Chains A and B, each alone.
Chain A
Amino acid sequence: MAQERIGRKRLVVGAHYGTRDFIVQRATAVIMAVYTLVLILYAVLTPSLDFESWRAFFAFTVGTLPVGQLLATVAFLSLAWHAWVGVRDIWMDYAHSDGLRLFLQVLTILWLVAAVVFFGQILWSL
């Protein structure tokens, strides 16, 4: 255990996960902001958006590379990671007993993993 102390009492341990979460929250936010902005502009600016043009946004390829699916995957994984950091913050603020907090955090993980698997399965079978 680290032996650096602030004053006589406070022991600084610091796994640095706070800094990592801070950076993850912002990096994933920027990825999602750009992706959703492009998606909304595409949806609004495409004249008479139909099934084919909507599907093309997620299924288009460049050569043989499935770029549409790759970009959507990056955006959705960013969403899941971003949501994990944010929702865990909510539990840390409001759920004070360890048991309840652990329970809610496990539920959150299951919820997000289910969403990722569901989305990935649909996306990659396009």
Chain B
Amino acid sequence: MSESATKPRPQFRNLGLSDLMSYRLPPAAKASIMHRISGALLFLALPLVIVPLFAQSVQSPETFAAMKEWVASPACKIVLLVLMWSYFHHFCAGIRYLTLDLHVGNAREPSQRSGALVIGVALALTVVFGLKLFGAW
């Protein structure tokens, strides 16, 4: 029994901030904390960026043009790129949670795979729509 335990596995109890760098999260846990971070970013941006942009875009042709001009600035594009990733990740991870609630893919292997898939799909969508934002298509 103890023969296989040649190297003691590291134990983590009550993680402190300094442990975060050495603690390797599995894909599902990474998708989970990114779900939280992306949600918090969207929450913060809601009255600061999202609603003001919406207001400009629907009020008149003049404000619509002003909105487009504002979005054309590099600083704004970076902000929008981050928010796009936040939306895509929060959306994809949310769909994953809904399927987990329906008891689809709850076993260890499939749930880790779907966690990694969510991270990848969100990044891919961010690249596709980010290229559109920066005028590549």
Contacts and interface: CB of A to CB of B under 8 A. Distances in A.
A8 to B, nearest CB: 27
B39 A86 contact: yes
Contacts of B87: 36
B29 interface: no
Chain A interface, DSSP helix/strand/loop, else mixed: helix
Contacts of B64: 50-51, 54
A29 B92 CA distance: 11
B23 interface: no
B54 to A, nearest CB: 7
B127 interface: no
Nearest to A76: B51
Contact of A87 (B40, B54, B98): B40
A57 to B, nearest CB: 9
B36 interface: yes
Interface stretch (B7-15, B55-63, B73-81, B107-115): B55-63
B55 to A, nearest CB: 4
A6 interface: no
B40 A26 contact: no
Contacts of B57: 51, 54-55
A30 B98 contact: yes
A18 B96 CA distance: 21
Given A86-B39, A86-B43, A29 B98 contact: yes
A119 B58 contact: no
B120 interface: no
B58 A59 contact: yes
B58 A83 contact: no
Nearest to A126: B58
Given A51-B61, A122-B51, A83 B101 contact: no
B40 A29 contact: no
Interface of B: 36, 39-40, 42-43, 46-47, 51, 54-55, 57-61, 64, 87, 91, 94-95, 98, 101
30 contacts: A26-B101, A29-B94, A29-B98, A36-B87, A36-B91, A50-B64, A51-B60, A51-B61, A51-B64, A54-B57, A55-B57, A55-B58, A58-B58, A59-B58, A79-B46, A83-B39, A83-B43, A83-B46, A86-B43, A87-B40, A90-B40, A111-B43, A111-B46, A115-B46, A115-B51, A118-B51, A118-B55, A119-B54, A122-B55, A123-B58
